[in-house]
Amino acid sequence: MRRGTCDRNRAFTLIEVLVVVAIIGLLIAVLLPTLRLAREQSRATVCLSNLKQQGIGLSAYSADWKRLLPWAGSFRFSLMEGLYYVLGDKHPERHNWGRVNLGVLYPKYTGNTGMLFYCPGNRYVDVNGENGLKRLRHCHLHPSRGDPEYLDAHNFPLSPFGAYAYAVPAAPAASPRDNGAGMFPPDVVRGNPLLEGDVWPYWKYLNDSVDPDPSFLGPFPKRARGKHNLHALVSDGYFRRDYYGYHIRGHNVLFSDFHARRVTDPNGKIYNANLTAMRPWTYDTIQDAKVFQVWDYFSKNN
């Protein structure tokens, strides 16, 4: 009898169990934000490392190509595009794949892994997905229309996607210069009216007599637009929210001297603008201007 009584006295009561569960729940609630922040800081570090490695690759490419940088694709997340789209003509032989943007660096200047084209914070671009690294490798090995394993370049979803925006001011098929403040000269940002039918929208932005939206990230008066000692060259994405490479209220950016750093998003203005991820073919709205204002903002904060 005494032993049974002793055993009953050592048992936990329901209230004691509930108190312990409540304490554990409180600790989890306190620790989760810290764990999420630590995980995001880790992603941001990987992203920044990717950009630094891209900078090394771009520097080596520049040395081989007399200070020219890779040509710009019409869609800045795409690592490859059909030459038909990039060059704007209708010759069947140009339906082959062409490597554009950072894809030109693969594999000679960045190694054979290709992982540094993918920001771990980008919620849309999946390195292991249908348009990820496997697709990049396949198109790299089978670029010619005559190859039995060639994938039709007109089917845009088949285009390999990276996660970084490259040389947004540059017109399609133009090559930025490894020249500091002269990275985006007029012939690079104006475009070819014979191919495009009109000048590239960034040229219109530079020459707009009106400040598109001084309240956004500005002011951006005409005399100061696009004029920087160092330009943004690659960013981790600032377009539509499902394309975002957003890190702790800021963005990672690679600049024209190939250094990379984080640039803060003031009061979440860039994120909340929810800008289009597609190429800004027109310059008709404030949203079009904001695509380029963000790029200017990055360049001003090098």
pLDDT surpasses 60 at 7: no
Q: State the chain's mean pLDDT as an integer.
A: 85
Residue from 248, 253, 299 nearest 54 by CA: 253
Contact criterion met (CB below 8 Å) for 73 and 81: yes
Q: What are phi and psi of 187, to 5 degrees?
A: -70, -20
Question: Looking at the DSSP assignment, which residues form a beta bridge with residue 255?
Answer: 232
Mean pLDDT over 97-117 rounds to 92
Give the β-pairing of 165-166 and 232-235. antiparallel
pLDDT at position 6 is 53
pLDDT tens column, 94-103: 788 889 999 9
The lowest-confidence range among 36-40, 75-79, 89-93, 252-256 is: 89-93
pLDDT surpasses 80 at 196: no
Strand, coil or helix: what is 200? coil
In this prediction the pTM is 0.86
pLDDT tens column, 231-284: 999 999 888 777 777 787 899 999 999 999 999 999 999 989 988 866 656 788
| Amino acid found at 31 | L
pLDDT at position 57 is 97
Q: CB 4: neighbour CB atoms within 10 A?
A: 8
Cα–Cα distance measured from residue 132 to residue 135, given in angstroms and rounded to the nearest whole number: 6
pLDDT at position 19 is 77
DSSP-derived letter for residue 132 is S
Cα–Cα distance measured from residue 43 to residue 278, given in angstroms and rounded to the nearest whole number: 25
User: What is the chain's alpha carbon radius of gyration, rounded to the nearest angstrom?
Assistant: 25
pLDDT tens column, 137-182: 999 999 988 899 998 766 767 789 899 999 999 988 899 999 999 9
pLDDT surpasses 80 at 220: yes
pLDDT surpasses 90 at 55: yes
Q: How confident is the model at residue 185 (pLDDT cuts 50, 70, 90)?
A: very high
Per-residue burial over 83-111, b if 16 or more Cβ lie within 10 Å, else e, is bbbbbbeeeeebbbbbbbbbbbbbeebbe
Q: CB 287: neighbour CB atoms within 10 A?
A: 14
> How far is residue 7 from each of residues 13, 15, 158, 167, measured CA to CA in Å?
13, 18, 69, 74
